[in-house]
Amino acid sequence: MDDSLLARLRPLRERIDALDAQILDLLNQRARTALEVGQAKQAFDADGPILKPEREAMVIRRLQELNKGPFTDQAIDAVWSQIISTCRGLESTLTVAYLGPQGSFSEQAALEHFGHAVQRLRCNSFDEVFRAVEAGQADAGMVPVENSTEGAVNRTLDLLLNSPLKVLGERSIKIQHCLMTQSGTLDGVKRVMAHPQALAQCQSWLTQNHPELARDAASSNAEAARVAAEDPAVAAIAGTAAAEAWNLQVVASGIQDDPQNRTRFLAVGAMATQATGHDKTSVILAVPNRAGAVYEMLAPLAAHGVSMTRLESRPARTGQWEYYFYVDLLGHYDDAPVAQALAELKKQVAFFKVLGSYPAQ
């Protein structure tokens, strides 16, 4: 390196070294304080949860409000998620279940949401994720609930209907699909495998560019990558994390039909989450099959000024054209307008279930 540049960099690098030493000292002070918090919680309730989703969201939001830059708010989220994850991990190990194997988008969402200092429990299906959390093998689960191209993830909606678990949080991640093979070419490749949602998200691209490839469903994209790593006649559609995890070469990237393709995941667990001032509440409702019933169902929300961010329906499987409605509202169920709207709503619907209130992302 040029001597004059070196001379200029030396004091700046010395300053960075000194700042890093201060940050390290502060991080260790924070970690010791979190350990004390853990001991206080343990003394109060030995079996109580260490994870406090509302507190984690508020720590990060407060720092984003204090932030004057040039560190970005997104970077604050990424860095403090890891700091909190490490502090939480010192208090007690958090086990998170999600659809594996290694390199799945569910793994990416779980690690972005809970940080890397967690025990990973990779499952073969969404059903297994719910079972693991319900049985206490995992403290939390991470499941996709909707995709911006393909809409609802129906199996997740059905599991939410029947599970006692609560929604603890949400995390939306950008989904960039890649076509990948062992060799990095399509020579000798006969089939393309992926989760049905991913095949649907890439269908126009596949039809235009590779109509010759047979399309096969896999239980997850990362599972398709695992198969492709064993079989040179198989290409997989998955994210770059799966390509790295299974040592595959990317043939084409960003092949999803919608470049802005995103998937929203929900964190689920056994504990309830307190209000943070910027929350969402997810509920399931059913109304009798008659004219005006859906309109009436939503009237209390409008009356109390509660905004609805999502409305999804699923057949109730009665053969009577009856539906369950999955509704997301802005606000926590402890907030007066939401509490009042839900109390009124409950009186007039045939079915009512609160899935949980949680910090809005």
Ligand X SMILES: O=C(O)C(=O)C[C@]1(C(=O)O)C=C[C@@H](O)C=C1
Residues that bind ligand X (CB under 6 A): 34, 37, 51-52, 55-56, 59, 84, 87-88, 91
The C-alpha atoms of residue 60 and residue 42 are separated, in whole angstroms, by 24
Closer residue to ligand X in complex, CB, 34/193 = 34
Q: Which is nearer to ligand X, 82 or 176 (CB)?
A: 82
In whole angstroms, the minimum distance from the beta carbon of 296 to ligand X comes to 40
Per-residue buried b or exposed e for 213-222, using 16+ beta carbons within 10 Å of the residue's own CB: bebeebbbbb
Q: Which residue is nearest to ligand X (CB)?
A: 87
Instruction: Identify which of 151, 150, 148, 123 has the alpha carbon closest to the alpha carbon of residue 137.
Output: 123
Tell which residue, 251, 125, 106, has the closest CA to residue 175: 106
Nearer to ligand X, 33 or 207 (CB): 33
- Kindly state the smallest distance separating residue 117's Cβ from ligand X, in Å: 10
Say which of 265, 273, 276, 281 is annotated catalytic.
265
Q: φ, ψ for residue 23 (rounded to 5)?
A: -60, -45
* Three-state DSSP string of 158-173: HHHHHCCCEEEEEEEE
Active-site residue among 263, 273, 276, 281?
263
Q: Between vectors from CA 61 to CA 58 and to CA 62, what angle results, nearest 5°?
A: 85
Annotated active-site residue 263? The verdict is yes
Q: Which long-range contacts (CB under 8 A, 24 or more apart) does 130-134 make?
A: 130/159, 130/163, 130/165, 130/268, 132/97, 133/97, 133/165, 133/268, 133/269, 133/270, 134/163, 134/164, 134/165, 134/270
Rounded to the nearest whole angstrom, what is the least distance from the CB of residue 31 to ligand X in the complex? 8
Which lies closer to ligand X via its Cβ, residue 1 or residue 66? 66
CB-nearer residue toward ligand X: 167 or 206: 167
Give least dist CB 96 to ligand X, A. Answer: 13
User: Least distance from C-beta 110 to ligand X, angstroms?
Assistant: 15
Closest CB to ligand X among 38 and 337?
Answer: 38
User: For residue 259, is the peptide bond before it cis, meaning its omega torsion is within 30 degrees of 0?
Assistant: no
Instruction: State residue 209 phi and psi, 5-degree precision.
Output: -100, -35
Residue 17: CB minimum distance to ligand X, A:
26
Judge whether 207 counts as a catalytic residue: no
Q: Specify the 3-state DSSP secondary structure of 336.
A: helix
Catalytic residues: 263, 265
